[in-house]
Amino acid sequence: MLVFILFLLLIGVVVGFAGIVKAPPNRAIIITGLSKKPRVVMDRIGWHLPFIERVDKIMISAFSVEIGTDSPVPTKDYQKADITAVMKLQVDISNPKVMERAYRNFLNKTKEEMKKGLEKSLQGNLREIIGTLELEKLYTNREVVAESVKKNATSDMQSLGLEIVSCNIMQVVLEDEKVIDDLAEKEKSRIRLEAEIQKAETDKQIKIEQARKEEEANAEVSKKQKSIAIIKNEVRVLNANLEKKAAEAEAEAKTAYDLRMAQLGLEIDSIVQENDDMVQAHSAERYRSRKNAEAEGIVAISKAKNEAGTFEQNLAYLEKCADITKAVAEPLSKTEKVVMYGDGNPSQLIRDVMSASNQVVEGIREGGQIDLPKIMSKK
């Protein structure tokens, strides 16, 4: 039993390894058998069930096909030409439906087998295009010819599961070599004519440009002159306004000056009048003061004279008083000795003398209205 199991495991390992497939970069592996749709393995490792699923290969890298007309083909203008072109194709792997067509047509085929199968189809497309073009375009504009051939062959190639990568016209051989010379001369004439036309057009454009620039320059000059005239006019108006305003300001200033001077004249006259009034008032006041002083002086002089007369009278009275006092005291001068008894007798004697003198003064004051103490105090 164990041996049987090991045998099965060994078979499984062998089958597993036998079913491994690896797709190179330039080929795709197509696995069919168990499912309706084939499995495609590209640039990776895949697996299939040996003895049950089928493994096929298809070339997916680009390849070139050289095609020619084999014999000269009449052009649209009835000139014969023999053309050789090279077209590069590859299996359209971007579109699964188109790729299925390639499986049916090119499965397990080599590049050479694929090229050989495509030459006739592509040759027919090339001959068709030559018959639709003029010899001049065919000879001088090969890119247009190549694009036309590519466009004409695209539908046929898609039906086979291929896409056209590029198409190049390698050689154009004319049956009549003289036609080439004629075409060359015609091309030269055309080029010469185009050059002359281009030169004339260039000269025309230059003149138009010069005229345009001159017109723009004149317009710019006119615009600047107009702007200068406008500015000058604005300056004149501004100067006139300034002069007018200056004259008005000068007139206003003169009027204000005259008015102010008149006001100052009135103020000065008023001040002068006030000063005159003040001077007159001051003079009158000084006159009155002087007169009053003179009157007071006269009164003082009169009073002084009166007082002087009174003083002389008082002086005469005083002299009389002195004589009276002397007469009162004379008896004492003749006394050799005065004997006083009791305490305070000398003082009593002086008081008696002074009392007698005071009585004399009082009598003078009452009799002659002379106040000796007051007169003495003034002295």
Q: Which domains does the chain show, CATH number per domain?
A: 2-59 (no CATH), 63-175 (3.30.479.30), 314-378 (no CATH)
Give pLDDT, residue 204.
Answer: 87
Give pLDDT, residue 342.
Answer: 47
Q: What are the two backbone dihedrals, phi and then psi, of residue 168, each rounded to the nearest 5 degrees?
A: -130, 135
Q: Say if strands 80-91 and 162-174 run parallel, antiparallel, or are unpaired.
A: antiparallel
Tell me the C-alpha distance between 87 and 84, whole Å: 10
- Say how far residue 108 (Cα) sits from the centre of its chain: 75
Give pLDDT, residue 19.
Answer: 74
Give pLDDT, residue 242.
Answer: 82
* First-last CA distance in the chain: 187
- CB count within 10 Å of CB 120 equals 9
Q: Using alpha carbons only, what angle is made at residue 155 by residues 153 and 156, rounded to the nearest 5 degrees?
A: 65
Question: Cβ neighbours of residue 332 under 8 Å, at least 6 residues apart?
Answer: 338
Give pLDDT, residue 370.
Answer: 53
Helices (H), 19-141: 96-106, 111-130, 135-140
Per-residue confidence in pLDDT tens, the chain, 379 aa: 777 777 677 777 666 677 788 888 888 888 888 878 888 888 888 887 788 888 888 888 899 999 988 888 888 888 888 889 999 999 988 888 888 888 888 888 888 999 998 998 999 999 888 888 887 788 778 888 899 999 999 999 999 999 999 999 988 887 766 666 666 677 778 778 888 888 888 888 888 888 888 888 888 888 888 888 888 888 888 888 888 887 887 888 788 777 877 777 787 677 767 766 665 665 556 656 656 655 665 565 556 555 555 555 555 555 555 565 555 555 555 555 545 444 455 556 556 656 655 665 566 565 555 555 555 555 4
Give pLDDT, residue 341.
Answer: 46
Tell me the C-alpha distance between 58 and 111, whole Å: 10
